[in-house]
Chains A and B, each alone.
Chain A
């Protein structure tokens, strides 16, 4: 078992990192299965950096230790009827974690839910960070205000860097009011291609759709979430139904059913149950999603569904040595494919993240080195040597 070091203060962490080594940076370990597997000498347990240090609802800002459980943050926000608008998913079922994880883990993996199409991604909600670089230096970037162009946007760079650049101790995020209510408009029985068209038309409308997903099945369901104050939600739902009437009659889910449906979509529950399958996450041009999936399904037995109006495809494939990486990436015209769930040996063998062209890969290496020249943090988690 890997020995663990649990710093209690930032200087303690900095001194430890400065001595060098091969570290795995861990919050609560719920997302250890993401990225390439590591062989660290020591795990650095970041759960000592916990607690909400600043929350000003009227300023729409919250600062917390990176090791703060998300549940704690969401509870505090809910009390003031606020939320992290990018809708952090709970992948504990999908990835086998015990709970939803920490703020640091969420940001390190850059995960966003269905509302991403309207409210932006995790990276759009980070305002500032503090932490320790791979050189063992304490640094900060960004601030606590939404409008800030002072220096490079290093805080954004941390989102989705899988802990390869720095060990974050504190994170400041923008929070937003939660909607008063929601409803979901449902079309049954659309083909994938028709659903993609319907979702595109919905997103081109002024109906402010905050979730657009298509779930294949018998019958298939195409879902559109509308959030806001009651009269506005009802108005927009009716307007959207009429706007999309060429796709047939529609039905709708009331608030309670809508909430649970979108939670299931957010958490990829459809593919969580079947442990036998590996799961891929495809980010692609929305209008190309159906044809891309059709190309893949000609070659593979797949289970899948579309979120982000087609811009996100969750794909379950049978287990195999190579997780069919070659076929899947070959079917992709643009965007990228990430192997999201598979055993360590598979994630060790193939590229978990989309391989990059030479110039970009070189730049990525240099950016990594600018924070962590000796590769002490999560070395190899994203790509070989990064």
Chain B
């Protein structure tokens, strides 16, 4: 289990007075302090970790958020921002001595501007609600994380969420134009707007994916896209994951960027088929779900081209959707992959590394070996187009040391991803889950530089501490430190 920074006993003692002060800013039901009521907030999607917060505050206006943060800043109290709490990396895990600042009441779509193809929304609006509000006009919001029914746009910005259409349509960072945020000092800052390029340094880019460490987002301007005229899915099965991987590479080499390109391995296919009955082939080692979108004339042409490439790569089955209902059925299996795996195992850990696509079969082989060594099963779903792997490690938390073994297995998978030129996390964030693995990918100098950037926003380290960085350094110390040849002068500093 990962350790969190030790709670400050002085702050814990002042809990009642802190709650009173917060009530003055957010009256009524906006402050929650009983253990029963706060239990809703004790974890996020990384449910193996739980912690009751000091107190929960749910403001409704930017001005109130600013006052809460200023109060926390003046009194040196930690703050954990929270959207819908669907993070899979523990990004919204509370701290015993920290205020949880929930943005669930910021749930209004403020403006839809078709003329400029954008919408201004509050951070607590769910990802799917944006699309639902504009789809009658043929528009949608492109990033579609699996949790889109529940996850909020504020959380999407904090995590730079992706989804199955990233390769063609980009991540959250590529689909937002502006935001309003509040710094820990209570200062309100607007970045970007309805224009395409924000001015000055690209702080919009830095805020996106900053995991609640830099500021609290109170408004987001998102890009809206017109839905493609048609979309069809081709479902292709392969006798080996290597063939499937080669097929993916050949499709891209042919200059085709599919709207979505997903891969599932045999255990995932079987789990899903039992759950959803999407009529997936069961006698294949790997299944590709390839969506092609655009005008019908283009999609038909691409389906033919992709089918030919699949045949060349020895596919054993191939089916193309002929109706919208069939297209959705083909997707239903993939979209239900996580709950389907949930049915065959009491618990599972969802990993999130990204690798260069061509190393896939090597990584899958390595993963099979690790599976044997750790004595735990693994099922794989994979955003094949962009190299983002989601190994699902199956375990039972009630059996001995299985959780610890699952975590070790997961860490080994991520080390393997980095070793082949990939990264620790593609879309779920570092949070606490991958925090201690950061040195696998980054040198002390890389991490010190990122932490100095954090200091520019929050020099007392009050916003979401204990997340992302394996070592807490005071900002003054980071300022003095010189990292020579990638090494700190004190490599033995304790990690918490």
CA–CA, A143 and B420, complex, Å: 12
Residue from A143, A157, A177, A369 in contact with B205 in the complex, judged by beta carbons closer than 8 Å: A157
* B-contacting 9-mer, from A88-96, A215-223, A224-232, A254-262: A224-232
With A139-B443, A285-B116: A370-B452 Cβ-Cβ less than 8 Å: yes
* A-contacting 9-mer, from B11-19, B162-170, B279-287, B399-407: B162-170
Contacts of A232 in B (CB 8 A): 294-295, 297-298, 301
B450 and A110: CB pair below 8 A?
Answer: no
Contacts of B457 in A (CB 8 A): 363, 366
A59 and B358: CB pair below 8 A?
Answer: yes
**CB-CB contacts of A45-82 with B at 8 A, as 1s and 0s?**
00000000000111111000000000000000000011
B205 and A156: CB pair below 8 A?
Answer: yes
CA–CA, A141 and B194, complex, Å: 29
Within A86-133, the residues touching B (CB, 8 Å) are: 110, 112, 116-117, 120-121, 123-124, 133
Q: Is A308's CB within 8 Å of the partner chain B?
A: yes
Min CB gap A152→B, angstroms: 5
Q: When A and B form their complex, what is the total count of cross-chain residue pairs whose Cβ atoms lie within 8 Å?
A: 272
CA–CA, A363 and B228, complex, Å: 40
* A-contacting 9-mer, from B40-48, B147-155, B185-193, B328-336: B185-193
Contacts of A159 in B (CB 8 A): 202, 205
* B-contacting 9-mer, from A22-30, A199-207, A263-271, A341-349: A199-207
Q: Is B471's CB within 8 Å of the partner chain A?
A: no
Contacts of A287 in B (CB 8 A): 113, 115-116
CA–CA, A262 and B425, complex, Å: 38
A144 and B356: CB pair below 8 A?
Answer: yes
A149 and B194: CB pair below 8 A?
Answer: no
* B-contacting 9-mer, from A1-9, A183-191, A296-304, A351-359: A351-359
Q: Is A376's CB within 8 Å of the partner chain B?
A: no
CA–CA, A178 and B446, complex, Å: 34
**CB-CB contacts of B45-61 with A at 8 A, as 1s and 0s?**
00000000000000000
With A141-B450, A153-B209, A363-B203: A147-B358 Cβ-Cβ less than 8 Å: no
Q: Is A325's CB within 8 Å of the partner chain B?
A: no
Residue from A11, A137, A157, A231 in contact with B297 in the complex, judged by beta carbons closer than 8 Å: A231
CA–CA, A285 and B118, complex, Å: 10
Most chain B C-beta atoms within 10 Å of own C-beta, residue among A117, A149, A232 = A149
Which residue of chain B has its CB nearest to the CB of A179? B255
Min CB gap B324→A, angstroms: 16
CA–CA, A153 and B297, complex, Å: 38
Contacts of B241 in A (CB 8 A): none
Min CB gap A30→B, angstroms: 20
With A58-B252, A145-B356, A367-B201: A137-B445 Cβ-Cβ less than 8 Å: yes
Q: Is A334's CB within 8 Å of the partner chain B?
A: yes
Contacts of A161 in B (CB 8 A): 201-202
CA–CA, A160 and B442, complex, Å: 24
* A-contacting 9-mer, from B28-36, B369-377, B426-434: B426-434
Contacts of A152 in B (CB 8 A): 206, 209-210, 214, 450, 453-454
A139 and B449: CB pair below 8 A?
Answer: yes
B226 and A231: CB pair below 8 A?
Answer: no
Contacts of B261 in A (CB 8 A): none
Min CB gap B346→A, angstroms: 29
B202 and A334: CB pair below 8 A?
Answer: no
Contacts of B116 in A (CB 8 A): 200, 285-287
CA–CA, A100 and B425, complex, Å: 36
Most chain B C-beta atoms within 10 Å of own C-beta, residue among A116, A117, A235 = A235
B249 and A58: CB pair below 8 A?
Answer: yes
Residue from A141, A205, A229, A285 in contact with B446 in the complex, judged by beta carbons closer than 8 Å: A141
Which residue of chain B has its CB nearest to the CB of A148? B423
B170 and A120: CB pair below 8 A?
Answer: yes
With A151-B438, A177-B257, A364-B201: A204-B114 Cβ-Cβ less than 8 Å: yes
B114 and A284: CB pair below 8 A?
Answer: no
Contacts of B160 in A (CB 8 A): 149, 153
Residue from B166, B195, B438 in contact with A334 in the complex, judged by beta carbons closer than 8 Å: B195
Q: Is A380's CB within 8 Å of the partner chain B?
A: no
Q: Is A33's CB within 8 Å of the partner chain B?
A: no
Min CB gap B171→A, angstroms: 7
**In which size bucket is the chain A interface?**
35 or more
B255 and A353: CB pair below 8 A?
Answer: no
A176 and B257: CB pair below 8 A?
Answer: yes
Min CB gap B262→A, angstroms: 13
Contacts of A18 in B (CB 8 A): 482
CA–CA, A204 and B113, complex, Å: 11
Contacts of A148 in B (CB 8 A): 354, 423, 425-426
Q: Is B421's CB within 8 Å of the partner chain A?
A: yes
* A-contacting 9-mer, from B76-84, B100-108, B337-345, B382-390: B382-390
B253 and A58: CB pair below 8 A?
Answer: yes
Q: Is B314's CB within 8 Å of the partner chain A?
A: no
A336 and B438: CB pair below 8 A?
Answer: no
Q: Is B144's CB within 8 Å of the partner chain A?
A: no
Contacts of B426 in A (CB 8 A): 145, 147-149
Q: Is B424's CB within 8 Å of the partner chain A?
A: yes
A147 and B173: CB pair below 8 A?
Answer: no
Min CB gap A247→B, angstroms: 16
B193 and A334: CB pair below 8 A?
Answer: yes
B456 and A334: CB pair below 8 A?
Answer: no
Min CB gap A351→B, angstroms: 11
CA–CA, A61 and B249, complex, Å: 13
Contacts of B388 in A (CB 8 A): 145, 147
Min CB gap B395→A, angstroms: 24
Within A290-314, the residues touching B (CB, 8 Å) are: 308, 311-312
Residue from A135, A145, A205, A353 in contact with B199 in the complex, judged by beta carbons closer than 8 Å: A353
A206 and B423: CB pair below 8 A?
Answer: no
With A135-B482, A152-B450, A206-B229: A124-B201 Cβ-Cβ less than 8 Å: no
With A149-B429, A285-B195: A371-B253 Cβ-Cβ less than 8 Å: no
Q: Is B256's CB within 8 Å of the partner chain A?
A: yes
Q: Is B70's CB within 8 Å of the partner chain A?
A: no
CA–CA, A382 and B199, complex, Å: 11
A150 and B202: CB pair below 8 A?
Answer: no
CA–CA, A139 and B386, complex, Å: 25
Contacts of B294 in A (CB 8 A): 208, 228, 232
B456 and A145: CB pair below 8 A?
Answer: no
Within A148-175, the residues touching B (CB, 8 Å) are: 148-154, 156-157, 159-161, 165
Contacts of B226 in A (CB 8 A): 204-206
Q: Is A277's CB within 8 Å of the partner chain B?
A: no
With A145-B386, A148-B423, A363-B457: A283-B428 Cβ-Cβ less than 8 Å: no
CA–CA, A308 and B205, complex, Å: 20
B430 and A370: CB pair below 8 A?
Answer: no
| Residues in chain A within 8 A of chain B (CB atoms) | 11, 18, 56-61, 81-82, 110, 112, 116-117, 120-121, 123-124, 133, 135-141, 143-154, 156-157, 159-161, 165, 176-178, 180, 200, 203-206, 208, 228-229, 231-232, 235-236, 239, 283-287, 308, 311-312, 334-336, 338, 353-354, 356-357, 359-360, 362-364, 366-371, 373, 382-383
11 more contacts with CB within 8 A, not counting A110-B202, A285-B194, A336-B199, are A139-B445, A145-B354, A149-B430, A151-B442, A159-B202, A206-B229, A229-B301, A232-B294, A239-B295, A287-B115, A366-B457
Instruction: Pick the 4 closest A-B CB pairs, nearest first.
Output: A156-B205, A177-B255, A232-B298, A366-B456
| Residues in chain B within 8 A of chain A (CB atoms) | 113-117, 138-139, 159-160, 162, 166-167, 170-171, 173-174, 183, 187-191, 193-197, 199-203, 205-206, 208-210, 214, 226-229, 249-250, 252-253, 255-257, 294-295, 297-298, 301, 354-358, 383, 386-388, 421-430, 434, 438, 441-443, 445-450, 452-457, 468, 479, 482-486
Residue contacts A-B, CB under 8 angstroms, 14 given: A18-B482, A81-B255, A137-B449, A139-B449, A140-B443, A141-B449, A143-B441, A150-B438, A160-B202, A203-B117, A204-B115, A360-B191, A363-B183, A366-B456
